[in-house]
Protein backbone atom coordinates (compact mmCIF):
# COMPACT_ATOMS: atom_id res chain seq x y z
CA UNK A 1 0.00 0.00 0.00
CA UNK A 2 2.81 2.37 0.92
CA UNK A 3 4.64 1.62 -2.33
CA UNK A 4 1.52 2.31 -4.34
CA UNK A 5 1.02 5.66 -2.59
CA UNK A 6 4.64 6.75 -3.22
CA UNK A 7 4.40 5.63 -6.85
CA UNK A 8 1.15 7.59 -7.30
CA UNK A 9 2.66 10.73 -5.75
CA UNK A 10 5.74 10.44 -7.95
CA UNK A 11 3.53 10.12 -11.01
CA UNK A 12 1.50 13.21 -9.99
CA UNK A 13 4.65 15.29 -9.45
CA UNK A 14 6.12 14.20 -12.78
CA UNK A 15 2.83 15.03 -14.53
CA UNK A 16 2.65 18.43 -12.84
CA UNK A 17 6.14 19.45 -13.96
CA UNK A 18 5.73 18.27 -17.54
CA UNK A 19 2.32 19.85 -18.10
CA UNK A 20 3.33 23.36 -16.99
CA UNK A 21 4.96 25.39 -19.70
CA UNK A 22 6.36 28.83 -19.17
CA UNK A 23 3.62 31.41 -19.56
CA UNK A 24 6.26 33.97 -20.49
CA UNK A 25 6.57 32.57 -23.99
CA UNK A 26 2.81 32.81 -24.52
CA UNK A 27 2.83 36.45 -23.43
CA UNK A 28 5.82 37.16 -25.62
CA UNK A 29 4.16 35.57 -28.64
CA UNK A 30 0.95 37.56 -28.08
CA UNK A 31 2.93 40.78 -27.71
CA UNK A 32 4.93 40.16 -30.88
CA UNK A 33 1.75 39.32 -32.81
CA UNK A 34 0.06 42.52 -31.63
CA UNK A 35 3.15 44.57 -32.49
CA UNK A 36 3.27 43.10 -36.01
CA UNK A 37 -0.42 43.83 -36.50
CA UNK A 38 0.07 47.40 -35.29
CA UNK A 39 2.98 47.92 -37.70
CA UNK A 40 0.96 46.44 -40.58
CA UNK A 41 -1.96 48.79 -39.84
CA UNK A 42 0.37 51.78 -39.71
CA UNK A 43 1.91 50.83 -43.05
CA UNK A 44 -1.51 50.45 -44.68
CA UNK A 45 -2.62 53.81 -43.25
CA UNK A 46 0.48 55.51 -44.67
CA UNK A 47 -0.08 54.01 -48.10
CA UNK A 48 -3.74 55.03 -48.16
CA UNK A 49 -3.20 58.60 -46.89
CA UNK A 50 -3.10 61.18 -49.69
CA UNK A 51 -0.13 63.51 -49.88
CA UNK A 52 -0.75 66.74 -47.99
CA UNK A 53 -0.42 70.03 -49.80
CA UNK A 54 1.42 72.75 -47.94
CA UNK A 55 0.27 76.30 -48.51
CA UNK A 56 2.41 79.11 -47.17
CA UNK A 57 0.43 81.70 -45.26
CA UNK A 58 1.63 85.27 -44.98
CA UNK A 59 3.46 85.93 -41.76
CA UNK A 60 2.21 88.87 -39.77
CA UNK A 61 4.73 90.39 -37.44
CA UNK A 62 3.29 91.36 -34.12
CA UNK A 63 4.54 94.44 -32.36
CA UNK A 64 7.03 93.74 -29.61
CA UNK A 65 5.17 93.20 -26.38
CA UNK A 66 6.82 93.87 -23.07
CA UNK A 67 8.00 90.75 -21.29
CA UNK A 68 6.52 90.03 -17.87
CA UNK A 69 9.63 89.90 -15.75
CA UNK A 70 8.00 88.69 -12.56
CA UNK A 71 9.86 88.32 -9.33
CA UNK A 72 13.61 87.98 -9.21
CA UNK A 73 15.34 86.30 -6.29
CA UNK A 74 18.58 87.82 -5.13
CA UNK A 75 21.18 85.40 -3.78
CA UNK A 76 24.90 85.29 -3.19
CA UNK A 77 26.14 82.42 -5.34
CA UNK A 78 29.42 80.73 -6.17
CA UNK A 79 29.99 79.22 -9.63
CA UNK A 80 30.67 75.47 -9.28
CA UNK A 81 30.70 74.29 -12.90
CA UNK A 82 30.19 75.92 -16.27
CA UNK A 83 31.16 79.39 -17.39
CA UNK A 84 29.66 82.73 -18.32
CA UNK A 85 27.71 83.65 -15.17
CA UNK A 86 26.23 87.13 -15.49
CA UNK A 87 23.95 89.26 -13.32
CA UNK A 88 20.55 87.73 -14.25
CA UNK A 89 20.13 84.00 -14.73
CA UNK A 90 17.34 81.53 -15.51
CA UNK A 91 17.24 78.82 -12.83
CA UNK A 92 15.48 75.60 -13.82
CA UNK A 93 16.42 73.34 -10.91
CA UNK A 94 17.50 73.45 -7.28
CA UNK A 95 19.07 70.51 -5.48
CA UNK A 96 20.53 69.73 -2.09
CA UNK A 97 22.84 67.14 -3.65
CA UNK A 98 25.51 68.28 -6.12
CA UNK A 99 25.33 65.03 -8.13
CA UNK A 100 21.67 65.69 -8.96
CA UNK A 101 22.50 69.21 -10.14
CA UNK A 102 25.35 67.85 -12.28
CA UNK A 103 22.98 65.31 -13.83
CA UNK A 104 20.51 68.00 -14.89
CA UNK A 105 23.38 70.16 -16.18
CA UNK A 106 24.60 67.27 -18.34
CA UNK A 107 21.10 66.77 -19.77
CA UNK A 108 20.77 70.46 -20.60
CA UNK A 109 24.25 70.50 -22.16
CA UNK A 110 23.17 67.60 -24.41
CA UNK A 111 20.09 69.67 -25.37
CA UNK A 112 22.36 72.49 -26.58
CA UNK A 113 22.37 74.80 -23.56
CA UNK A 114 25.46 76.17 -21.85
CA UNK A 115 24.20 75.20 -18.39
CA UNK A 116 25.95 76.10 -15.14
CA UNK A 117 25.77 74.94 -11.55
CA UNK A 118 26.05 77.52 -8.77
CA UNK A 119 26.06 77.01 -5.00
CA UNK A 120 24.07 79.14 -2.58
CA UNK A 121 25.72 78.78 0.82
CA UNK A 122 22.92 80.60 2.67
CA UNK A 123 20.37 77.98 1.61
CA UNK A 124 22.83 75.09 1.09
CA UNK A 125 21.41 74.54 -2.42
CA UNK A 126 22.89 73.87 -5.84
CA UNK A 127 21.09 75.82 -8.55
CA UNK A 128 21.12 74.73 -12.20
CA UNK A 129 21.22 77.73 -14.53
CA UNK A 130 20.11 77.40 -18.14
CA UNK A 131 21.36 80.76 -19.35
CA UNK A 132 22.69 84.01 -17.95
CA UNK A 133 22.27 87.63 -19.11
CA UNK A 134 23.28 91.17 -18.23
CA UNK A 135 19.73 92.52 -18.49
CA UNK A 136 16.65 91.46 -16.57
CA UNK A 137 14.42 91.63 -19.67
CA UNK A 138 16.66 89.32 -21.71
CA UNK A 139 16.68 86.80 -18.86
CA UNK A 140 12.88 86.97 -18.57
CA UNK A 141 12.52 86.40 -22.32
CA UNK A 142 14.90 83.42 -22.15
CA UNK A 143 12.93 82.00 -19.19
CA UNK A 144 9.67 82.25 -21.13
CA UNK A 145 11.24 80.61 -24.21
CA UNK A 146 12.66 77.83 -22.04
CA UNK A 147 9.26 77.18 -20.47
CA UNK A 148 7.64 77.13 -23.91
CA UNK A 149 10.20 74.66 -25.24
CA UNK A 150 9.64 72.28 -22.31
CA UNK A 151 5.90 72.85 -21.91
CA UNK A 152 5.36 69.18 -21.03
CA UNK A 153 7.88 69.27 -18.14
CA UNK A 154 6.13 70.44 -14.98
CA UNK A 155 9.40 71.00 -13.12
CA UNK A 156 10.78 73.30 -15.83
CA UNK A 157 7.57 75.34 -15.69
CA UNK A 158 8.72 76.47 -12.23
CA UNK A 159 11.83 78.16 -13.68
CA UNK A 160 12.66 81.50 -12.11
CA UNK A 161 15.06 84.43 -12.34
CA UNK A 162 18.09 84.83 -10.12
CA UNK A 163 20.04 88.02 -9.53
CA UNK A 164 23.54 86.93 -8.56
CA UNK A 165 25.38 89.29 -6.28
Does the pLDDT value for residue 68 go beyond 90? Answer: no
Residue 4 confidence class, pLDDT cut points 50, 70, 90: confident
**Across all residues in the chain, what is the average pLDDT?**
82
**Edge-to-edge, what's the strand order for the sheet holding 116-120?**
72-75, 160-164, 88-95, 125-133, 116-120, 78-81
Summarised one tens digit per residue, pLDDT across range 74-112 is 999 999 999 999 999 999 999 999 999 999 999 999 999
DSSP state of 157: G
Q: Which domains are present in the chain?
A: 76-164 (3.30.70.1070)
Amino acid sequence: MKKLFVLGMGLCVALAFTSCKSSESAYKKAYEKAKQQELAEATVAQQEAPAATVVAAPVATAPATPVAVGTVREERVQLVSGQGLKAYSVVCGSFGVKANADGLKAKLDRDGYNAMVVYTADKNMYRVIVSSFDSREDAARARDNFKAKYSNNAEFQKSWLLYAR
